Chain A
Amino acid sequence: MRNGGVKYTRIAADHFVSGLSYLAAFLVLAPLTAIFGYCIYRGAGSLDIAFFTQIPKPVGESGGGMANAIVGSGMLLAIGSLIGVPLGVGAGIYLAEFGSGKLGNLVRFTADVLNGLPSIVMGISVYALIVIRQKHFSALAGSLTLGIMMVPIITRATEEMLRMVPPSLREAALGIGVPRWRTTLSITLRTAQAGIITGVMLAFARVAGETAPLLFTAFGNAFWNLDPRQPIAALPLQIFTYAISPFDDWHRKAWAGALVLVALIVISVALVRWVAGRGILKGSS
């Protein structure tokens, strides 16, 4: 529409800003590509069978792997999920079913506070609560930290998904005399299942890479440990230790660990997105 009334400066400004927004998109996506590219470029060469089957070798000896850290991370996340998922889903049910009053708002607000809490602060809090009392670092303390960090994400996701279930379904169940608890568990929760699993996976992906809260709780371990009461190795902790070390061999190991961690997280996030694009979740998440 350049019918004389439109000044060229306005058109120029329009083109200029379009160009800037393309530039912004490029500048944001470039580091992402670079990070993935380097993880693959530097990490893939160091990935071998030993990486997944052996524990770290002492400095100077080549070889070794991160098997104990991978298993340790799995254990931390599993115990963390056992703590965080029931608590988060339960709190989400409370907010969706009974949380319309002031108390509900208080819980929502507190969940947001917990969600915004720096992870390092979470780490020292659990250290003060548990590690000081037990007098030693433990996998359990690390799991608890990760579990607590999962709670607010799962709570808000559960509430949101439960609210998306059409009220007519709930009313139909209540109308034939099904008690409220049974309606919630068998009808509402079952319908919103996919969405809640999405929320759980997102929380999982978020805490899977957390390092700071594990520094003073799980602490890390150079050897095998399957006892939850003892310090345990974790993949992000191991990457951190190796990255700030002065040894080339350890740097290569750190990149390999980073590749494994990034692959794990990207796969779970992509899976979530794929699931979320189907069924009742369409348009959300």
Chain B
Amino acid sequence: MSLTNPQSQRPAFTLLVPLRKKHSGDAPQSHTGPSSQDLLRHSSTGAWADKLFRGVVTLCAFSIIAIVLLIVAELVSQSRLSIERFGLNFFTGHDWDPVAGIFGATPFIYGTLLSSLIALCIAVPLGIGVAVFITEMCPSPLRGTVSFLVELLAAIPSVIYGLWGIFVLAPLLRTIVEPVLAKYLAWTGFFSGPQYGIGMLAAGVILAIMIIPFISSVTREVMLAVPSSQREAVMALGATRWETIRTGVLRNARAGIFGGIILALGRALGETMAVTMLIGNRPEIARSLFAPGYTMASVIANEFSEATDDLYVSALVEIGLALFLVTVVSNIIAQMLIWNITRGHKARAHA
């Protein structure tokens, strides 16, 4: 390229893109897409395209809000019949009698809360324990594998937990675990009565396995967010490894860990298939954990497609609405607690 060429008078940035041949006005445009120069020249179309682009992605984003609003609106309008008929008695009534048209949701609320509580009792220590194991104890070559395997638990479909529960866990509970519990702990009243295997205890255990990955991954995340100076300071005072973890890490991360537990609780409350397959599906409030029960999610799964009259459907949708509200509230609490810890490293020092 000679310097005498008048083309070299172009602004420097054109060198970044191939120089375009001179065309007459009606010559076809290059097929390699617009060059930066074209785009500058046609800046008015660029602005138009920008607005269109922004409009399209904004529409996508707002469709999420629209979907959630639509879900709420449908749940409320479909359950209106039941809300008007029963009012607050819906949540205090004990009888669930579709034939007589009497619907009280207490047995389902009890079953949902109790099975989730059993799950938390088992999953919280195990989830935190496995998080401590992965971050602090595990030999580093194994660390990635172990955390992958724990997270894999969250990827297994609910129906497969249910299948495994029916054919493996329930017989195990019936033949080994429940007789032992009945022998030593029957005096509490929680472990008495006939041992079916399938029942509240089985549902709680399967839920525990399902929510462990949520607790452990959040716990790991918040443990890593604790500044290492905290840990080092405690170590420098001569603490053992456990004391370092307890006072330097876990204590600073406790709000976040609590958030993880609430998140897992939200999952447990709404879990459907595995629980439906294992809880026994009987709308009764029994003290013994061996007895069958029923949950809010599983009554919808079992009875929704055979609900014939409008009031029956409406009552089931109202249970769905209640489930929706409970999980939304628990998610909000969980998110706030986790954000406090992981955003901006606001972990407070308690050591």
Residues of A that sit less than 8 Å from B by CB: 1, 5-6, 10-11, 13-14, 17-18, 20-25, 27-29, 31-32, 34-35, 38-39, 42, 86-91, 93-95, 97-99, 104, 106-107, 109-114, 116-122, 124-125, 127-129, 148, 151-152, 155, 176-182, 184-185, 205-206, 208-212, 215-216, 219, 236, 239-240, 243-244, 251, 254-255, 258, 261-262, 265-266, 269, 273
Contact B133 A25 (CB under 8 A): yes
| A13–B57 alpha-carbon span in the complex (Å) | 55
Contact A178 B39 (CB under 8 A): yes
CB-defined contacts of A13 to chain B, threshold 8 Å: 240, 242
Say which residue of A35, A152, A184 sits within 8 Å of B64 (CB atoms).
A152
CB-defined contacts of A243 to chain B, threshold 8 Å: 159, 162-163, 166, 277
Distance in angstroms from A273 CB to nearest chain B CB is: 6
CB-defined contacts of B300 to chain A, threshold 8 Å: 120, 124
| A10–B133 alpha-carbon span in the complex (Å) | 19
From known contacts A212-B301, A236-B157, infer whether A1 and B238 are also in contact, taking CB-CB under 8 Å.
yes
A-B contact number at CB 8 A: 273
Is B81's beta carbon under 8 Å from chain A? no
| A254–B324 alpha-carbon span in the complex (Å) | 31
| A25–B135 alpha-carbon span in the complex (Å) | 12
Contact B167 A251 (CB under 8 A): yes
Distance in angstroms from B65 CB to nearest chain A CB is: 5
Say which residue of A21, A111, A128 sits within 8 Å of B130 (CB atoms).
A21
Is B19's beta carbon under 8 Å from chain A? no
Is B193's beta carbon under 8 Å from chain A? no
User: Which residue of the partner chain B has the closest CB to A96?
Assistant: B57
From known contacts A124-B304, A179-B49, infer whether A244 and B277 are also in contact, taking CB-CB under 8 Å.
yes
List 12 other contacts, CB 8 Å, given A129-B70, A211-B158, A261-B160: A17-B242, A22-B137, A35-B156, A114-B68, A116-B267, A120-B270, A155-B64, A177-B36, A177-B40, A212-B272, A239-B159, A255-B163
With an 8 Å Cβ cutoff, the count of chain B residues facing the other chain is 97
Distance in angstroms from A22 CB to nearest chain B CB is: 7
| A278–B37 alpha-carbon span in the complex (Å) | 36
CB-defined contacts of A244 to chain B, threshold 8 Å: 166, 277
Distance in angstroms from B348 CB to nearest chain A CB is: 24
From known contacts A21-B132, A113-B68, A215-B304, infer whether A14 and B157 are also in contact, taking CB-CB under 8 Å.
no
CB-defined contacts of A104 to chain B, threshold 8 Å: 61
Contact A38 B324 (CB under 8 A): no
Residues of B that sit less than 8 Å from A by CB: 13, 16-17, 34, 36-37, 39-40, 46-47, 49-50, 52-54, 56-65, 67-68, 70-71, 74-75, 77-78, 125-130, 132-134, 136-138, 146, 148-150, 152-153, 155-164, 166-168, 209, 212, 216, 238, 240-243, 245, 263, 266-267, 269-273, 277, 297, 300-301, 304-305, 316-317, 320, 323-324, 327-328, 330-331, 335
From known contacts A240-B159, A251-B167, infer whether A97 and B57 are also in contact, taking CB-CB under 8 Å.
yes
Distance in angstroms from B242 CB to nearest chain A CB is: 4
Contact A27 B126 (CB under 8 A): yes
Say which residue of A11, A18, A114, A185 sits within 8 Å of B137 (CB atoms).
A18
Contact A99 B39 (CB under 8 A): no
Contact B157 A209 (CB under 8 A): yes
CB-defined contacts of A155 to chain B, threshold 8 Å: 61, 64
Contact B67 A151 (CB under 8 A): yes
Max count, chain A CB within 10 A of own CB: residue among B77, B155, B212: B155
User: Which residue of the partner chain B has the closest CB to A11?
Assistant: B240
